[in-house]
Amino acid sequence: MTQTAVFEAERPSLMALSYRMLGERAIAEDVVQEAWLRWRKVEPETLDQPAAWLRTITTRLAIDALRRARSRRESYIGPWLPEPVLEDPASDFTARLETVQQAELALVWVMEFLTPDERAAFVLHDTFEEPYAVIASVLEKSETACRKLVSRARAKTGAAPMQLGASRDAVMGLLERLMQASASGDLQAIRDLLAQDVVAISDGGGKARAALRPLYGADETAQVMHALATRKQIGARPVLVMVNGAPGMAILEGGALDHVTTLAPSRQDPSRIGWLYTMRNPDKLLVKRPG
């Protein structure tokens, strides 16, 4: 197998790893491109495990990229949310993600509260099932330290208000009920769908109208959602889409994608919504639904 063929065989996994670390497509692709440039400078026959070498380099590059990205995000206008991956057969990026477990948006968001090392250890162990000996080599830490990193990451993600890893059917059921309640303009119906500790976040990036802070609790969230539902824009059309492998709702205006919403059930009460994600930043909505 040629050097290029070896890299291309690993590219889907490297892309998935990089996206989970960063939550941004362009930066994830830059990381993989840098890994490719470094790969070209080595002699593959000198490596016992070329795939392991590539994953190590990509992880380390992603950690550095994440630190830089977080510094930039400090000046971001309003809440920063990870970019959605809308399923589009023509998208190479989506095709790469489909080779491994989908990068659930709720989990990618929760991982923003992890340190770069916690995030790397957590992704490598819980998504890619790497043993602690390998993770220790990648992060240049002891196995004991890596176990602690994963343990802390699990504790932080486990404390989130939403249920991670919910089934598509569960998400679809809540999404359909939310669409019906919003269409009817029924404030109480919207309120009844929300868990007491619901978190609703919208990302406009200063380029589209969006709340400048997260909404917390059922009352505040329902009031804002009701106000938006009763202020319907002419020509707006809701369309069901798949967002990072989960059901979502896209709002089209004049055929253009205005925003995308998805959700996750409450961890305490899965029959209600625990987390609402709305992406309005046009720079993060570049992948359009076909048709």
What's this model's pTM, rounded to 2 decimal places? 0.90
Q: How far is CA 103 from CA 82, 214, 220, 243, in A?
A: 11, 22, 29, 10
- The Cα angle at residue 182 between residues 173 and 79, in degrees rounded to 5: 85
Q: How confident is the model at residue 237 (pLDDT cuts 50, 70, 90)?
A: confident
Size of the chain, expressed as the number of residues it contains:
291
29's enclosing H/E stretch is: helix 25-39
* Domain layout of the chain by residue ranges: 3-158, 168-284
How far apart (Å, rounded) are the C-alpha atoms in residues 191 and 218?
Answer: 6
How far apart (Å, rounded) are the C-alpha atoms in residues 134 and 205?
Answer: 38
Cα-Cα-Cα-Cα dihedral sign, residues 14, 19, 20, 21: positive
How far apart (Å, rounded) are the C-alpha atoms in residues 99 and 151?
Answer: 27
* Pairing mode of beta strands 246-253, 236-243: antiparallel
Topology annotation, domain 3-158: Butyryl-CoA Dehydrogenase, subunit A; domain 3 (1.20.140)
Q: Hey, what CATH class is 168-284 in?
A: alpha beta
pLDDT in tens, 168-206: 999 999 999 999 998 888 999 999 999 999 999 999 999
96's enclosing H/E stretch is: helix 92-97
φ/ψ of 202, rounded to 5, equals -125, 145
pLDDT in tens, 207-223: 999 999 999 999 999 99
Torsion angle of alpha carbons 73, 74, 75, 78, nearest 10°?
80
Identify residue 30 by its one-letter amino acid code: D
pLDDT number for residue 102: 59
Query: What value does the mean pLDDT take over residues 265-274?
Result: 97
Quick one: DSSP state of residue 287?
Answer: S
How far apart (Å, rounded) are the C-alpha atoms in residues 51 and 69?
Answer: 26
